[in-house]
Amino acid sequence: MSIAYTPWPAEIAASYREKGYWTDVPMTDILIRHQSERAEHRALICGERSWTYRQLELDAARLADSLLQLGVKPGDTALVHLPNVAEFYIVFFALMKLGVVPVNALFSHNRHELSAYAGQIQPTLAVVSSRHSLFADNEYPQALSQQYPSLQHWLVDGETSDEAPLGHSLAAAIKGELTATHIVSDNTVSGSTTHGHNDALRSWPELDASEVAFFQLSGGSTGTPKLIPRTHNDYYYSVRASAEICLLDRDSVFLCALPVPHNFTLSSPGALGVFYAGGTVVLAPEPSPMTCFPLIKRHQVTMTSLVPPAVTLWLQAAADDGSELASLQFLQVGGARLGESLARRIQPELGCQLQQVFGMAEGLVNYTRFDDSEWHVLNTQGRPISEDDEIRIVDENGQDVPRGTPGALLTRGPYTFRGYYNSPEHNQTAFDQDGFYRSGDVVVMTDDGYLMVVGRDKDQINRGGEKVAAEEIENQLLALPEITQAALVAMPDPVMGEKSCAFIVTTNPKLKTIAIRKHLRACGIADYKLPDRIETVDAMPMTHVGKIDKKALRQQIADQVHAQLQPQPEKDVLS
Ligand code: OOB
């Protein structure tokens, strides 16, 4: 059974095929296409381990085979929660071969997010890492398996101890040497069964490229995180076109330092774009200069992608010693607005070209091009990938605004989705009647068709590229009986761009910030979503329609932050 999704209208789909955007070739082709002349080229480097294209394809095929033996079937879904390790791609391609559709959660996600995803997809399989505290013991896996009886199979990357029995070893599954020793749920077979080594790889189910390949994660603005079905056809087009725009080839060496599942690092052009072009992906566990600079030198990295706060750190480190960056040809920056003053320092201080990237997991991605004027590269967030990316910029009444005027960005096109998974109600407002997706961004379009992101009309905080849906956190705050009203808003921050501030009204004047944070932690929310600041107020400012006036709250906290950033007279500092 295939995963349901909102399709593109038939005549539009036909035109995307006609124009060669949709090729009806599944994304498994990304590795398969290199199996003759490119097979022995290095595809992937992770620490001291590396894979050629042949080895990567073989590992993916072996893992797919192991999964088949376990009983995982085409049309099943999987919850994948891995850090920046090579196994992420092995799992990605193995699941794709089988037609198993994963949600690839961020490694910073925690119990709250994973449970929400599991609830939506009812997975058969979970692939997790013992490096995450959630999977250091069996408590959470057991609870999840009990809550979702469909979840029959667990594969674990990393060390597992006897105290923490937890499904099968991912490494063994990749080697084709599955030994089931442990149980997670009552449904899973106990005991020790070797499934046997199988080098005679079977032929995989025929894949239909118009079907869902995997789910992307929405940054969201609602109480529950929403899932974005991405088909082979639409996603593969964005990968190929991005690789072309970024002039990737076999000599491209990409350092992947932001989280591997993110749309930026996966497909803009990201690791998939580099694999498609036959280049090399080098994994970094995180984007600090201390980790990344030596990797760039050692592997002669030619390109990487960062969010703006990381750029600040790189500039500071390069001021001391930037000699390790000599091979870097271009740096992509995206995920959050890059200030012009920071943008201006990249070429002279890091010695590489800047490319701005403004994209979204829902589809549309914009790039500045390598032959753009300096003004465009420093001041705009680029222009769309495709001539058939349709852009509308509208006022509050849904009327198109003239070029140069800010308005809400709506878009549809050959790789922009048509509906969140299983969310008919939310889809009614997330799209207009013509199928344009309301991105929630406020943008200006220049006369020559470049976009500048100037604001946002979605209830979200963009914490240096990490997105926090206000409602999700407000709901958790309101779960505390002492909190009667809650509003999460963005506050300015010199490094992150924005941080989050929760305003609360409470019946308990003694309620401490620390107790609130403890409560949110206990809810199992990812750390980056915890409010950076909590302000107690007697009453919320209200709009004339009786809603909490978040604009006023944003202004209030911005004024407070601004006042605190002003130099204080000495006696105040000391008192
Ligand atoms: C990327 O994807 P998401 O899904 O995490 O976030 C999308 C949102 C956009 O709607 C916009 O609000 C913001 O992130 N954003 C930017 C930006 N790039 C993304 N805001 C200002 N300037 C930029 N350059 O963040 C994403 C996906 C693919 C490629 C790059 C980023």
The phi and psi torsions of 416 (rounded to 5 degrees) equal -105, 125
In angstroms, what is the span from residue 452 Cα to ligand 1's centroid?
12
Sheet containing strand 253-256, edge to edge, reads 49-52, 42-46, 280-283, 253-256, 303-306, 330-334, 353-360, 363-367, 383-384
Nearest Cα residue to 157 out of 71, 8, 46: 46
pLDDT at 159: 81
531 alpha carbon – ligand 1 mean position (Å):
21
How close are the terminal C-alpha atoms of the chain, in Å?
Answer: 69
Expressed in angstroms and rounded, the spacing between residue 387 Cα and the centre of ligand 1 is 20
Is residue 98 within 8 A of residue 92, CB to CB? The reply is: no
Residue 104, beta-bridge partner list: 80
Angle separating helix axes 289-299 and 308-320, nearest 10 degrees: 70
Instruction: Check if the beta carbon of residue 507 is closer than 8 Å to that of residue 565.
Output: no
On whether the pTM is more than 0.75, the answer is: yes
Q: What's the 547 CA to ligand 1 centre distance in angstroms? A: 28
Mutation pick for ligand 1 pocket among 452, 453, 457, 468 (CB with most ligand atoms within 8 Å) = 453
DSSP secondary structure code for residue 409 in this structure: E
- Closest by CA to 496, choosing from 526, 464, 528, 540, is 464
What pLDDT, on the 0 to 100 scale, is given for residue 179?
Answer: 62
Residue 532 CA: distances (Å) to CA of 108, 322, 332, 378: 16, 32, 27, 30
Q: Whose CA is nearest to atom 8 of ligand 1?
A: 360
Q: What is the DSSP string of 110-160?
A: -HHHHHHHHHHH--SEEEEETTSGGGSSSHHHHHHHHH-TT--EEEEES--
**Ligand 1 atom nearest 439 alpha carbon:** 10
Dihedral over Cα of 224, 91, 333, 310: its sign = positive
> Which residues does a 6 A CB cutoff place in the pocket of ligand 1?
219, 263-264, 268, 334-337, 356-361, 365, 381, 439, 441, 453, 456, 462, 467
Q: How far apart are CA 492 and CA 462, in angstroms?
A: 10
**Distance from Cα 335 to the centre of ligand 1, integer Å:** 4
Query: What domains lie within the chain, and their CATH numbers?
Result: 27-36+47-195 (3.40.50.980), 212-456 (3.40.50.12780), 461-564 (3.30.300.30)
Residue 264 has φ and ψ, to the nearest 5°, of -65, -55
Closest atom, ligand 1, to C-alpha of 357: 24
Distance CA 233, CA 244 (A): 17
Q: Would you state the pLDDT for residue 572?
A: 54
Please report the atom of ligand 1 found closest to the CA of residue 466. Answer: 5
Cα of 89 to ligand 1 centre, how many Å? 23
Per-residue pLDDT of the chain (575 residues; tens, 9 = 90+): 789 999 999 999 999 999 999 999 999 999 999 999 899 999 999 999 999 999 999 999 999 999 999 999 999 999 999 999 999 999 999 999 999 999 999 999 999 999 999 999 999 999 999 999 999 889 999 999 999 999 999 999 998 766 555 789 999 999 999 865 443 444 443 333 444 444 445 678 899 999 999 999 999 888 889 999 999 999 999 999 999 999 999 999 999 999 999 999 999 999 999 999 999 999 999 999 999 999 999 999 999 999 999 999 999 999 999 999 999 999 999 999 999 999 999 999 999 999 999 999 999 999 999 999 999 999 999 999 999 999 999 999 999 999 999 999 999 999 999 999 999 999 999 999 999 999 999 999 999 999 999 999 999 999 999 999 999 999 999 999 999 999 999 999 999 999 999 999 999 999 999 999 999 999 999 999 999 999 999 999 999 999 999 999 999 999 999 998 887 666 554 44
For the chain, what percentages of helix, strand and coil (3-state, to nearest 5) are there? Answer: 35, 25, 40
Please give the Cα distance from 80 to 90 (Å, whole number): 12
Distance CA(178)–CA(259), nearest Å, equals: 28
Query: Which is nearest to 280 in space by CA: 308, 315, 255, 317?
Result: 255
Q: Give the Å distance between the CA of 453 and the centre of ligand 1.
A: 10
**Which residue minimizes the CA distance to atom 2 of ligand 1?**
360
CB 7 within 8 A of CB 212: no
Q: What is the pLDDT of residue 569?
A: 65
Atom of ligand 1 nearest to the CA of 467: 5
Distance 6 CA to ligand 1 centre (A): 23
pLDDT computed for residue 353 by the predictor: 98
Strand partners, 154: 126
Contact 392, 400 (CB under 8 A): yes
What's the rounded Cα separation, in Å, for the pair 77 and 2? 10
Instruction: Report the largest interatomic distance among the alpha carbons of the chain, rounded to a whole angstrom.
Output: 78
Name which residue sits closest to atom 21 of ligand 1, judged by CA: 337
- Tell me 38's DSSP state: T
**Distance, CA of 363 to CA of 219 (rounded, Å):** 12
Q: Which atom of ligand 1 is nearest to the CA of 382?
A: 24
Determine which residue's CA is closest to atom 16 belonging to ligand 1. 336
165 cis-preceded (ω within 30 degrees of 0): no
**What residue owns the CA closest to ligand 1's atom 12?**
441
d(CA 240, CA 55): 23
Distance CA 108, CA 114 (A): 10
